[in-house]
Structure 1
Amino acid sequence: MKIKNALISVFDKSKILKLAKILTQNKIKILSTKGTRKLLKKNKIPCSKISDYTKCKEMFHGKIKTLHPKIYSGILSHPILDSRIIKKKKILSINLVIVNFYPFQKKKYTKYIDIGGPSLIRAAAKNYKNVIVITDIQDYKYIIEKILKKKKISKKSKLKLAMKAFKYSAKYEKKIYHTFKKKYDLINKKKIFPKKIKIILKKKKNLIYGENPHQKSALYIDNNFKKTDQIFKKIQGKKLSYNNIIDANIALECVTQFNKPSCVIIKHGTPCGASTKKNLLQAYNHAYLCDPESAFGGIIAFNKKLKSKIVQKIIQNQFVEIIIAPKISINSQKFLQKKKNIKILITNNKKINFYKQFDIKTINNQFLIQEKDYDNFKFNKENIVSQKKPTKLEIKDAIFGWKIAKFVKSNGIVYVYKKSTIAIGTGQTSRIFSIKNANIKMHENNIHKKNITMASDAFFPFTDNIQEAKKNNISCIIQPGGSIKDKEIINAVNHENISMIFTHIRHFKH
């Protein structure tokens, strides 16, 4: 097959001049669109305007350029089988199609969707035995070499170029699809579970073991996973285990809820201390004091840059498995290098969105899929259901405690004082035991505070929870509400002079 006519329509004009010059020197006629033609003409490379050939001007502000039967007949035709029609209709057989698209932009998404470009390369790729299609600038060199040496391009090479064209088009279409889907979900105001979900996973690496040493495990990633999708990067320490990865993810998801300097300590998948203060050192100190015993061997996450004073305090206080932060000072790194067993994770600088994916759990050959537990609770006066109104500090503590309660294993109870947890009751089979558990921790840590706020991940089934809470100076409670005994619960807090906030959202975590 001899190349006689080439169609060039490129947004990215890198290296196109060299290729175009080679084409004209070898008596290959060039057809091009307005923008490409302007560049070629400026550099004295002869080319024909597509609209002159089709006898049809560009329409609708350039939206219609190449969508014409004479163009697609030239690309899709067979040089022998269709030769009569080609001659009769005076159609140019287009043997070479060089196209790349203008970038898709999410902001003005309908404006920046290339129509002609994808149509051209799909037509050329379909007829790959008779048409060479180029979408990758790196392939210019290959075509130039073949033309200069007057060598034939094999069917295998043409097939490869066609395959690349379809892949290029598919990636472009995928971006558009995801943008339209997001727009549709916003209009629909709810996520719809599709009838079929296709998940392709590839193994990234084997892990040391699973939850326990006798269980083998490995880490798999989505087939479309990119390095930029990673939420953290390990810069020091041994390999991350199965439990490390789960706990680190929980710690990071929890601490990134807060904008002010915050610290969260996670142990076995649940918070054992959390605090928001003026600086990270204060936040860590208060998070650690909530439950020093459980903090031993835990995972500590921060939402601001880590400095050496905090690192020294951590080492002085406890054994730590993992430290997580968005940034870490050079002095901190030098200090931590002496403690090589401590794993240091630096979080991705871009804003992390934990709620764009689903939660998936496996049950034999079945899968349970749910939306992530996204909490959009915003406090207003209507949320107060008690006679006593909470103070401004109690409201702040209630909102803080509510955010932590989302990560506490059910039944979950969180005691908060000045935006720091002072006791957490977690994973009990009844709510009363969770409250008793939190009370025991306060007693053991010798904590005596007044005006403590309590957050409960689900409603109270009985009033005995209120009496048990009152033993430790609980002055404000935040909970979902929704029990058949809500009236009795509200009467109980009114009797004990406790303020109560209903969120109308539940946070069970199993």
Structure 2
Amino acid sequence: MTVSSKKVPAPDRVPVRRALLSVSDKAGIVDFARALSAKGVELVSTGGTSAAIAGAGLAVRDVSDLTGFPEIMDGRVKTLHPSVHGGLLAIRDDEEHRAAMEAHDIRPIDLVVINLYPFEEVRFGGGDYPSTVENIDIGGPAMLRAAAKNHAYVAVVTDPGDYARVLAALNENDGSLTYRLRQELAAKAYARTSAYDAAISQWFAESLDLAQPEWRGFGGRLKEVMRYGENPHQTAGFYVTGDKRPGVANARQVQGKQLSYNNINDTDAAFELVSEFDPAKSAAVAIIKHANPCGVATSADLADAYRRALACDPVSAFGGIIALNRTLDADAAAEMVKIFTEVIIAPDASEEALALIAAKKNLRLLLTGGVADPRAPGLTAKTVAGGLLVQSRDSGVVDDLDLKVVTQRAPSDREMADLRFAFRVAKHVKSNAIVYARDLATVGIGAGQMSRVDSARIAARKAEDAAAQAGGEPLTKGSVVASDAFFPFADGLLSAVEAGATAVIQPGGSMRDDEVIAAADENDIAMVVTGMRHFRH
């Protein structure tokens, strides 16, 4: 199929004489319509939008008068008509287009103001299948795309936040809009319909359990322009998808300066980790640096959990991110403000805690309203050159696994509790990951190394450094150790034994499992195999 090319130059300014308004979100629409009407713009509208405008005493023409056809099928069909789309798509300076408009009594539409049915809100709000389908907008995206394509002559507004900008431009340009503004509005309209369609396609894939659909779309709305990206020479923006999962994207920032790109990445890692721990069972604190934990602990209260998490690596904790699984209280806040911290994220905070945090004006405090469900399904994505890697979220939880003791000695109850704790943490440590734990607190963490034995040695050395600073013995003595993946050789296990570990938890599955298990038995080490690994790259 060939598409004809009409090489007609776009005019710089197009006067707005006629506007079509049809919005789901009616915030500000009456005031906008009133301002347009005051400039002599003819108003055309549909359904509830028309009623709202007319209710304000403004003259408005119903779209059915334009089309000569009533709205039918519960409003599903009202704007899908040549009188509407011809008025949007016509190239005004083309003789054939003008002749067609005259022959069919089609009048031009210069401004389209549309926002779409609230599909994302219904989808993420738990709407059932029929109500979610009913909130898929058809006429709205069709008009947005038509107007945006013909931005040479038509301006398209899909965001109430742009009303003031459009009115200011009309005032500045004697009732006209410039080509540059029409281009920018068109770009925004296509981005909006793209994100909207992506949300719909994702919902269908989830509803039909299509793990890898042939086409995959992602979209989001700009929440914040970042000062820069990972480094000052990189630009960045923070986009939100509408997913209501508790975390950094949906948190309320109570105080502190703007979050940076790295702050957001690290805070997400911190809160996802601490959400592994049920707040009804224990208080949990995670301290994160560069998306890796430098200390995690659980206890009866947050203050004690924080002190024990900090003890794992107090040097790295400086300038880190603190995540909590319970309401921040005054005792915990008093401990946390003793050293420099970038961000604290928690489900909530007491008034006393808020007052203590307020004394540190640059400290960001984020409140999420709850913890995330570690078992909830979802997707993660990362870019590679020319493509996207998309996978399901790692929703494996150690409590759901069939743990198998593979050594002659079984772990004690205390060791088993620590093993479960350590494996929860290892899930959130960059691979290769090794986590030493004792009494439900990390005592040494090795992350992101090219060999597992190096991670084991680094974690032990971190424990030695922390012990030297505290003036005691390394807490790896009598600890347990978790590995995010199998030990390919016995050397990693033997490094843990050398550090003082007495029990180990690992996925298993190595060609040399028998050698690793034999080494554990030779050293009276209890070993538990999970059957599930937690690589994190």
Q: TM-score, normalised by structure 2?
A: 0.66
Answering whether residue 134 of structure 2 is matched by residue 111 of structure 1, we say yes
SS at match of 1:402: helix
5+ residue gaps, structure 2, are 1-13, 124-130, 242-247
Matches within 5 A, 1:263-274: 263-266=285-288, 270-274=292-296
Q: Where does residue 100 of structure 1 map in the other structure? A: 114
- Give 1:377's aligned amino acid: G
Q: Where does residue 406 of structure 2 map in the other structure? A: 386
Go from structure 1 to structure 2 and tell me whether the alpha carbon gap of 1:252 and 1:4 turns closer, same or farther (over 3 Å shift): closer
SS at match of 2:117: coil
Answering whether residue 303 of structure 2 is matched by residue 276 of structure 1, we say no
Answering whether residue 438 of structure 2 is matched by residue 417 of structure 1, we say yes
SS at match of 1:382: coil
Contact 1:75–1:94 under 8 Å retained in 2 = yes
Deviation track 1:362-396 (CA, whole Å, cap 9, x = no partner) reads xxxx7998669953323446331526665665444
Deviation track 1:276-295 (CA, whole Å, cap 9, x = no partner) reads 11211110232234456x56
5+ residue gaps, structure 1, are 211-215
The structural deviation recorded for 1:179 is 0.5
Go from structure 1 to structure 2 and tell me whether the alpha carbon gap of 1:401 and 1:97 turns closer, same or farther (over 3 Å shift): same
Answering whether residue 414 of structure 2 is matched by residue 398 of structure 1, we say no
- Give 2:134's aligned amino acid: K
Q: Where does residue 510 of structure 2 map in the other structure? A: 483
Q: Where does residue 179 of structure 1 map in the other structure? A: 199
Deviation track 1:118-164 (CA, whole Å, cap 9, x = no partner) reads 44455456666776766654478679979xxxx9745xx26366436
The structural deviation recorded for 1:482 is 1.9
- 2:360, 2:61 → 1: CA distance? 69
The structural deviation recorded for 1:425 is 5.3
SS at match of 1:376: coil
Q: Where does residue 502 of structure 1 map in the other structure? A: 530
The structural deviation recorded for 1:37 is 4.7
- 1:323, 1:38 → 2: CA distance? 47
- Match of residue 15, structure 1, among 31, 35, 42: 31
- 2:48, 2:535 → 1: CA distance? 56
Q: After superposing the two structures, state which structure 1 stretch, 114-123 or 367-376, moved more.
A: 367-376
- 2:485, 2:391 → 1: CA distance? 17
Matches within 5 A, 1:68-217: 68-76=81-89, 78=92, 88-89=103-104, 91-106=105-120, 107=123, 108-120=131-143, 122-123=145-146, 137-138=163-164, 153-154=175-176, 157=177, 159=179, 162-163=182-183, 165-183=185-203, 186=206, 187-190=209-212, 204-205=226-227, 217=232
Deviation track 1:429-474 (CA, whole Å, cap 9, x = no partner) reads 7655655666674787436899843212332234466566567775
- 1:410, 1:2 → 2: CA distance? 60
- Give 1:375's aligned amino acid: D
The structural deviation recorded for 1:478 is 1.2
The structural deviation recorded for 1:479 is 0.7
SS at match of 1:220: coil
Contact 1:203–1:218 under 8 Å retained in 2 = no
Q: Where does residue 454 of structure 1 map in the other structure? A: 481
- Match of residue 58, structure 1, among 71, 82, 86: 71
Task: Give RMSD over aligned pairs.
Answer: 5.4
- Match of residue 220, structure 1, among 217, 231, 235: 235
- Give 2:366's aligned amino acid: T
- 2:460, 2:235 → 1: CA distance? 41
- 2:459, 2:16 → 1: CA distance? 80
- 2:363, 2:113 → 1: CA distance? 46
SS at match of 2:74: coil
Go from structure 1 to structure 2 and tell me whether the alpha carbon gap of 1:314 and 1:42 turns closer, same or farther (over 3 Å shift): closer
Q: TM-score, normalised by structure 1?
A: 0.69
Contact 2:443–2:476 under 8 Å retained in 1 = no
- Give 1:483's aligned amino acid: S
Go from structure 1 to structure 2 and tell me whether the alpha carbon gap of 1:82 and 1:449 turns closer, same or farther (over 3 Å shift): closer
The structural deviation recorded for 1:105 is 1.6
The structural deviation recorded for 1:72 is 3.6
Contact 1:413–1:434 under 8 Å retained in 2 = yes
Contact 2:509–2:531 under 8 Å retained in 1 = no
Go from structure 1 to structure 2 and tell me whether the alpha carbon gap of 1:397 and 1:503 turns closer, same or farther (over 3 Å shift): farther
- 1:183, 1:20 → 2: CA distance? 37
SS at match of 2:310: helix
SS at match of 2:363: strand
Aligned residues: 478
SS at match of 1:274: strand
- Give 2:320's aligned amino acid: I
Answering whether residue 388 of structure 2 is matched by residue 375 of structure 1, we say no
- State the percentage of identical aligned residues: 25
The structural deviation recorded for 1:62 is 1.7
Contact 1:5–1:30 under 8 Å retained in 2 = yes
- Give 1:384's aligned amino acid: K
Go from structure 1 to structure 2 and tell me whether the alpha carbon gap of 1:64 and 1:476 turns closer, same or farther (over 3 Å shift): same
Go from structure 1 to structure 2 and tell me whether the alpha carbon gap of 1:464 and 1:105 turns closer, same or farther (over 3 Å shift): closer
Q: After superposing the two structures, state which structure 1 stretch, 131-140 or 470-479, moved more.
A: 131-140
SS at match of 1:487: helix
- 1:425, 1:419 → 2: CA distance? 17
Contact 1:385–1:490 under 8 Å retained in 2 = no
Go from structure 1 to structure 2 and tell me whether the alpha carbon gap of 1:508 and 1:247 turns closer, same or farther (over 3 Å shift): closer
Go from structure 1 to structure 2 and tell me whether the alpha carbon gap of 1:493 and 1:63 turns closer, same or farther (over 3 Å shift): same
Go from structure 1 to structure 2 and tell me whether the alpha carbon gap of 1:35 and 1:469 turns closer, same or farther (over 3 Å shift): closer
Contact 1:412–1:456 under 8 Å retained in 2 = yes
Contact 2:432–2:535 under 8 Å retained in 1 = no
- Give 2:295's aligned amino acid: G
- Give 1:378's aligned amino acid: V
The structural deviation recorded for 1:71 is 3.8
Q: Where does residue 33 of structure 1 map in the other structure? A: 46
Contact 1:252–1:324 under 8 Å retained in 2 = no
- 1:499, 1:272 → 2: CA distance? 25
SS at match of 2:136: coil
Contact 1:235–1:344 under 8 Å retained in 2 = yes
Deviation track 1:336-363 (CA, whole Å, cap 9, x = no partner) reads 78889xx6332363779898654569xx
Contact 1:266–1:300 under 8 Å retained in 2 = yes
Contact 2:256–2:365 under 8 Å retained in 1 = no
